[in-house]
Structures are given as C-alpha cells and as structure tokens.
Amino acid sequence: MVNPFRGFIDACRKYMIRGNPARNTFTEDFIRKNNYRLTGGQRKALKKEWTSFVGTIESYPNKFFGRGIVICAGGMSYTTCAWVCISVARKLGCTLPIELWYDGPELNRTLIRQFENLQVNCRNCRDYTKSAIQGFAMKPFAILNSSFREILLLDADNNCTKDPAYLFDNSEYLHHGAVFWPDFWKTSKENPIWKIIGSKQFELPEQESGQIVIDKEKCWKELNLCMYFNYQSQHYYKMLLGDKDTFKFAWLALGRNYYMIPTPPGLCGFSDQGDEFYGLSMVQHDMNGSVLFLHRNLLKWDQTRDDEILWTKIKRRRKTLKPVRFKPKWVVVGDSSQHFVDMEGDVEILSFCDLFDRYEEQCLEFLKELRKSEPYLQFILYLYFLKTRSGYSEDMNLFSEFHYLSHALKTSA
C-alpha cells in the first residue's frame, strides 16, 4: 500500500541517524511495519539503559499547580496555527490558562505581546535547559517543565470544537491520570520496541499525540521515561514515529495503565465536483464519541488562503468490524503537489456545516486578522532576517549593523 502519511514520515526522518534509515510501511489491515532491526545484545543494552535511568528519577517535586493548556509552536507555520488554535479556544469560552512553548529565536517580542493579549504565557525552552530541545522532544519537555500540574497538551495545528476543560473532570482521567488518543495504526510484532520494553500488547492502537491529558503528579515517572526516550531519539525514533508513541511505550514499560479514547480517528476535508473526497485533517473524539479535535496536519493554516473553505465533510468508520482502507491522493499544481488522504469501505459521511455551522469561517477570520496585524508583519521580517543575515538577532541595532558593514566594505576596498 502506498504510504498516505509520506510527508509526515519524511519530517520524522530528519531526526534519525543518517546512514541507517528506518523505513515505515503501512498495510491495509492497519499495521505499521518497520525495517529497523537490532541484535539481541543491542536490545538488552537499550533495556538495561532505560531501566537504569528509571532508578535515577527523583520524586515528584510538588511545585506545579492548577490546570492549563500547553502548546508548542514557533516559526512561521506553527506560530500561525497556534494563533488560530488559541483564538478559537477563547472564542468557545475556554478560560484555562495557556502556555506557548518555543525554542530560542522561534518567536520575537512583538508577537509574544500579541499572544499575551489572549492571556497566553510564552515560555522559551532555553530558559529551562542548556540542552537543545527541538522538534518532537519539545512536547514532553514542555509538559514536564510547565507550571501546571494537570495539562492538556495540544499540537499547534489542532483545533477544539468546544471548550475542552471538561476533560479534566472525566472519571477515566481522574482514575488513570492520563488520557491518550488513538492513531490509525498498530505497531507490528516484529518491531524491536516490544522486547526493549518487555510487552506483548500488540493489539493496542498506536498513539496520536496531537492531544494528551496528563496529571503530572500521578504520572511523573512515566513522563520522565518518555522524555528519556526522546533524548535517545537516535534509537527510539527509528522504531517509532517521532514523539507520539514514546508516551504510550513509557507507560507500558513501567506497567502503568492509561485510558485510550475508544473511538477511532476520522478524516475531515472536502469533495470536488466529482464527489471525490480529499482529507486534510485528523478527527478525534471525546470519551462519549463526539467530535472534539480537528487536527489540521496536512494543509496547515499558514498555507491556507483567506477565503479557502476546506472543511465540508467528515469521514469516519462505522461501529462495525467491516474493513476500511486508506487511499492517498495528490493534487498537482505546476511543479508542486499537495497530498491528501481518503478512507474507503464501511464509512459514514457527515456534513461539517450541519455539525459545526460557520466554525471554519471563524477560523479564517482569526487568520485574516493576524495576517493584517503589524506584529505579524514584523514577525515575517524578523524570520527573514534570521534566515538571510548571519548572526542576526532581535537585539541587534540595525543602524549600527549597517554602519559597521559599510565601514567594513570601505576598509576592504
């Protein structure tokens, strides 16, 4: 089967060791196969290393308080998505405090002030560690270092359809201290991760970490082991897809239970004039099976035109055991292409507008407001200078820089 998540997997691979690429293939019966293999000695060594690490984890520090949302962002794409995500949540009446985590120069001061208008605290990872925290590893790092004890982690490109605060009061969450959401796939039995963590629960779905609810006090050891797996990405990202299953396998390794949302994910997208469906977002549900999250992971808000309505239909499995399979699709425009996904078989199709009325139009309004704002224009210029001017920083006096450059050119002449 052609891999419908090729773009996502390519993004994961940049965190893997070169020269020994791990390749993932996805079967029609929803098994993710992986060609990465280890010798028995290598597996035992990795197991011994993580087991030894667990023995060094200190007790829960009891310095975190309250409930809140944690989002990791930075750069053009995820910062734009985070603005839409947070603006929508506030519009829906969500009053939970929000922390936006970024790395180093990924945000500038003017846009930080813009986020503060939405009651968002922006936190730089480099204020908490000297180690480089980039990519997927930022998510468990932000959870561990957030000021909140109870956290809803949201990907920046993930939108809530209603105020998610009620998740913290759910009985399953209160009992387990951890709520995860399923991905489409299961990890193949041949994957070395199973022997490394000592589990045979092969039928469990893989985890999709676009949203997680965590009580740090109840899950402190598991979170630290998850962070360890991400720090050891040269090994674990070869077996897994980025951070997403490092959470689940940390729990399994320590024999701890979590609650997995029972409703499988669906797709949200649009149909063309020939009624051909193009899915661009993952649909996730709450404990009762209601649509709660729209994870816009294939065509993000920064790529979206101001007037582009793309959420018109939702496709998801029916509650049967009849087969469903994926169908990847590409739209070619000139020299570039955009890929989408579809699912076929025993599925139901729902009208997005019947469920959520003008929801996407409101998202686009927030997007347009941001694009017209002076802080966003300054942010674009800031990112451009970071990319094109060696050594540029926000604190640099541009007049002094150009004066120095002019003097240097005259001297060299």
- 229-288 per-position pLDDT tens digit: 999 989 999 989 888 899 999 999 999 999 999 999 999 999 988 899 999 999 999 999
Q: Are residues 183 and 220 in the same domain?
A: yes
The token duo for 381 is: 């210029």
* Contact by Cβ (8 Å): 301, 366: no
Query: Does residue 225 carry a pLDDT above 90?
Result: yes
Domain containing residue 310 = 266-365
- For residue 127, what pLDDT is reported? 95
Hey, what's the torsion of the CAs at 121, 124, 125, 129, to 10 degrees?
-120
Q: Are residues 248 and 270 in the same domain?
A: no
- For residue 2, what pLDDT is reported? 36
Q: Are residues 222 and 77 in the same domain?
A: yes
The answer as to whether 409 is a domain residue is no
The answer as to whether 64 is a domain residue is yes
Determine which helix (DSSP H) or strand (DSSP E) holds 78, and give its type and residue range. helix 75-91
* Number of structural domains the chain divides into: 2
Select from 218, 235, 260 the last residue of a domain: 260
Select from 260, 287, 311 the last residue of a domain: 260
How many residues are recorded in the chain? 413
The answer as to whether 9 is a domain residue is no
Q: Of 21 and 107, which is predicted with more confidence?
A: 107
Q: Are residues 173 and 91 in the same domain?
A: yes
Query: Does residue 391 carry a pLDDT above 50?
Result: yes
The answer as to whether 398 is a domain residue is no
CA atoms of 243 and 89, how far apart (whole Å): 25
How confident is the model over 189-207, as a mean pLDDT?
93
Q: How far is CA 4 from the centre of its chain?
A: 17
- For residue 339, what pLDDT is reported? 86
- What CATH number corresponds to the domain at position 195? 3.90.550.10
pLDDT band (50, 70, 90) for residue 8: very low
The model's pTM is: 0.89
Q: Quote the mean pLDDT of the chain.
A: 89
Q: Are residues 145 and 186 in the same domain?
A: yes
* Contact by Cβ (8 Å): 281, 268: yes
CA atoms of 293 and 391, how far apart (whole Å): 40
Query: Does residue 402 carry a pLDDT above 50?
Result: no
Location of structure tokens 């003017």: 110
E strands, 40-175, are: 67-72, 98-102, 120-124, 150-155, 158-160
CA atoms of 209 and 223, how far apart (whole Å): 13
- For residue 397, what pLDDT is reported? 53
Select from 243, 260, 277 the last residue of a domain: 260
Query: Does residue 404 carry a pLDDT above 70?
Result: no
HSE toward the beta carbon, residue 57, CA cutoff 13 A: 19
* Residue pLDDT, tens place only, 286-324: 999 999 999 999 999 999 999 999 999 999 999 887 888
Collapsing DSSP to helix, strand or coil, 268 comes out as strand
Q: Are residues 236 and 298 in the same domain?
A: no
Q: Are residues 290 and 245 in the same domain?
A: no
Q: Are residues 316 and 358 in the same domain?
A: yes
Collapsing DSSP to helix, strand or coil, 28 comes out as coil
Q: Are residues 270 and 297 in the same domain?
A: yes
Q: Are residues 273 and 330 in the same domain?
A: yes
Residue 279 φ then ψ, to 5°: -90, 135
Q: Are residues 197 and 176 in the same domain?
A: yes
* Contact by Cβ (8 Å): 69, 154: yes
CA atoms of 176 and 258, how far apart (whole Å): 5
Q: Are residues 307 and 217 in the same domain?
A: no
* Contact by Cβ (8 Å): 145, 133: no
